[in-house]
A and B are shown apart, each in its own frame.
Chain A
Amino acid sequence: MSHQQPERDATSDLESPVAGTAVLTAGEVSADTASESPLRGPFDSLIAEGRARSVVNWLSVVVSVYVLISAVGVIGAGFKAATGGQAEALFGFASNPIVALMVGVLATAATQSSSTTTSITVGLAAGGLPLEIAIPIIMGANIGTTLTNTLVSVGMIRNKDDFRRAFAAATVHDFFNLLAVVILLPLEIATGFLERVSGWLAGALTGVGGVDTDSVDVVGAATAPLESLVGSLTEPMAAPWGGLVMIAVGVALIVLSITFIGKVLKVLMVGQAKRVLHGAIGRGPISGIASGAVVTAIVQSSSTATSLMIPLAGSGTFTLRQIYPFTLGSNIGTTATALLAALGLSGVDAALGLQVALVHLLFNLAATAVIFGIPFLRAIPIKGATWLAGRSAENKSFAAVWVLGVFVLAPGLLIAATTIF
């Protein structure tokens, strides 16, 4: 499909407001979208397009969500078996919040999915991982997830202006999430506000606080078989190996299910996502935040949601100020996965797992309210991203130092230094 410039009217002497972008006419667009979608679902080659394929796709999402929820329980049980109630000793190396934060950054940068890291952390917390360690890991996951769109943006290196715009749109997310941690992590260490509010909410929602103790745990009962199956397979192994294998199986199931859900939902929900985005155009930043949250919850991946905006920012179709609220919304939308993952936990485990998932949500809501709500703070990510992108367009080593420094060297060195000294 060609990006040809449509015929201009009498006002054609006016400069196009959309730098580097040709405006497509409605006819061109419908002809293009009607042709063939490049999105491929896992069952496309097996089932003909139509209702049957849609039903199979939705069923596969339901099964994947079941696997995800069960896998969180498997991790929790595995962690309990592996540590034998000594989780703090096992995770002693991460008891320093900065190290736990860096573990979160590295784990998410490696999996390119904050949902994966947070879901695993939910399982570990249910198995006894102390909240003082789990909370910084969750915050680190927020930083690590921004690597994906930054790597997508460096792919636009061939055109200097496109690269500058794309890199700014990607790093505004980096700057925001770094600033959020700089403000909220010390506040959390000093006051424990996230732990307290999430604890209260988790207690109220799971019935541990006396609200709903008599209710039947349907989800917990439904997901128990997979947990029991993995448990019985690893039972003959000596401690702590059985537990460690359970954790590895749980992690693998979480990675697979989240990847699969993302892939299928992209195909199923693209129409909904379009409607949400069309509705947000020309409206204010609140609509931008809401559209980011909804689109991310729809595709179950903040990496995908923020990465899809990079070519649009690079071409100049969307400005940095329009992309910025969208990325904040995707921080909020991505918390849906961990909340979903916490559904399968029951009893006290449920309260702890849900508490970690709620910390993720509360942290992102607080960061958005504080940073985006205060004009002085709101401008910092934009200024930082604009400056860095400008320098990087002139001298690409700036971009390389940023990518390697923030996502690999700094976390690696901090963990190594804390472990050694």
Chain B
Amino acid sequence: MNSTSDHDPSTPEPADEQPPLTEEDMPRSLEEIDAALVRLMAETEATVNRLRAELAERRQHEAQHAEIERLEHHLAEATVNWSKVKEFFEEVLRELTGRQAADMGEDERPAGRPEGERRNDPGTEER
């Protein structure tokens, strides 16, 4: 809390930060102590957030540099893999036919009975 003791007055304050506590800011009542604590917590939180962002950015750059070191691998794989494209279109067809089957199942369901009710019916239980 005693941040005034090691503050160098010649050092300019960053424009977006509040000035550190001075003698005049020293708490005189319980309310003032609370206010000072709240302010300190906010300052600490802002610093932690700044550090988090900086660390995240540093790690992201580190990961990017590492991936670029593997550029040979990425260049070798920078071509269309037709078996994967085929797999994709098969997946699309499966998704479409699955949805169609689900829609048809919904149409065949008896009117007036919601799906949840039907699922709880012991007669319709999946085996």
B69 touches A29 (CB 8 A): yes
- A32 interface residue per 8 A CB criterion: yes
- The digit string for A259-272, where 1 denotes a CB below 8 A from any CB of B, is 00000001000100
Q: Which B residues lie within 8 Å of A152 (CB)?
A: 78-81
Nearest-neighbour CB distance to chain A for B76, whole angstroms, equals 4
Closest to A24 in B: B66
Closest to A26 in B: B66
A307 touches B65 (CB 8 A): no
A281 touches B74 (CB 8 A): no
Q: How far does the alpha carbon of A307 sit from the alpha carbon of B77 in the complex, in Å?
A: 8
- Chain A CB within 10 A, most for which of B69, B78, B95: B78
Q: Which B residues lie within 8 Å of A155 (CB)?
A: 80-81, 84-85, 87-88
Of the 9-residue stretches A13-21, A43-51, A360-368, A408-416, which lies at the interface with chain B? Answer: A13-21
Q: How far does the alpha carbon of A309 sit from the alpha carbon of B95 in the complex, in Å?
A: 28
- Chain A CB within 10 A, most for which of B59, B67, B70: B67
Closest to A395 in B: B95
Q: Which A residues lie within 8 Å of B74 (CB)?
A: 308-309, 311-312
**A33-B70 CB under 8 A given contacts A397-B92, A397-B95:** yes
**A39-B76 CB under 8 A given contacts A29-B66, A273-B71, A281-B64:** yes
**A33-B69 CB under 8 A given contacts A21-B63, A270-B75:** yes
Of the 9-residue stretches B23-31, B50-58, B113-121, which lies at the interface with chain A? Answer: B50-58
Q: How far does the alpha carbon of A11 sit from the alpha carbon of B55 in the complex, in Å?
A: 9
Contact of B63 among A23, A274, A304, A396 (CB under 8 A): A23
Q: How far does the alpha carbon of A400 sit from the alpha carbon of B89 in the complex, in Å?
A: 7
A-B contact count (CB 8 A): 125
B63 touches A400 (CB 8 A): no
Closest to B56 in A: A17
Q: How far does the alpha carbon of A37 sit from the alpha carbon of B80 in the complex, in Å?
A: 20
Nearest-neighbour CB distance to chain A for B32, whole angstroms, equals 34
- A197 interface residue per 8 A CB criterion: no
How many chain A residues touch B (CB < 8 A): the figure is 52
Q: Which A residues lie within 8 Å of B95 (CB)?
A: 395-397
Q: How far does the alpha carbon of A274 sit from the alpha carbon of B84 in the complex, in Å?
A: 28
Q: How far does the alpha carbon of A266 sit from the alpha carbon of B81 in the complex, in Å?
A: 18
Main secondary structure of the interface of B (DSSP, over half): helix
Q: Which B residues lie within 8 Å of A18 (CB)?
A: 59-60, 63
Q: How far does the alpha carbon of A317 sit from the alpha carbon of B68 in the complex, in Å?
A: 10
A274 touches B68 (CB 8 A): yes
**A151-B80 CB under 8 A given contacts A157-B88, A311-B74:** yes
A88-122 at interface with B (beta carbon < 8 Å): 112
Closest to A23 in B: B63
- A143 interface residue per 8 A CB criterion: no
B52 touches A299 (CB 8 A): no
Closest to B74 in A: A308
- A300 interface residue per 8 A CB criterion: no
B68 touches A17 (CB 8 A): no
- A236 interface residue per 8 A CB criterion: no
Contact of A396 among B64, B81, B88 (CB under 8 A): B88
- B127 interface residue per 8 A CB criterion: no
B77-127 at interface with A (beta carbon < 8 Å): 77-81, 84-85, 87-89, 91-92, 95-96
Nearest-neighbour CB distance to chain B for A86, whole angstroms, equals 38
Q: Which A residues lie within 8 Å of B52 (CB)?
A: 14
Q: How far does the alpha carbon of A418 sit from the alpha carbon of B74 in the complex, in Å?
A: 41
Q: How far does the alpha carbon of A28 sit from the alpha carbon of B67 in the complex, in Å?
A: 11
Q: Which A residues lie within 8 Å of B79 (CB)?
A: 152, 304, 307
**A154-B66 CB under 8 A given contacts A282-B61, A307-B78, A308-B75:** no
**Please, could you name 20 A-B residue pairs with CB atoms under 8 Å apart, sorted by A?**
A21-B63, A23-B59, A23-B63, A29-B69, A30-B69, A39-B75, A152-B79, A154-B88, A273-B75, A281-B64, A282-B61, A303-B78, A304-B79, A307-B79, A308-B78, A312-B64, A317-B60, A396-B88, A399-B92, A400-B89
Q: Which 10 A-B pairs have the closest CB atoms?
A: A155-B84, A17-B56, A24-B66, A307-B78, A308-B78, A38-B76, A29-B69, A154-B88, A37-B72, A308-B74
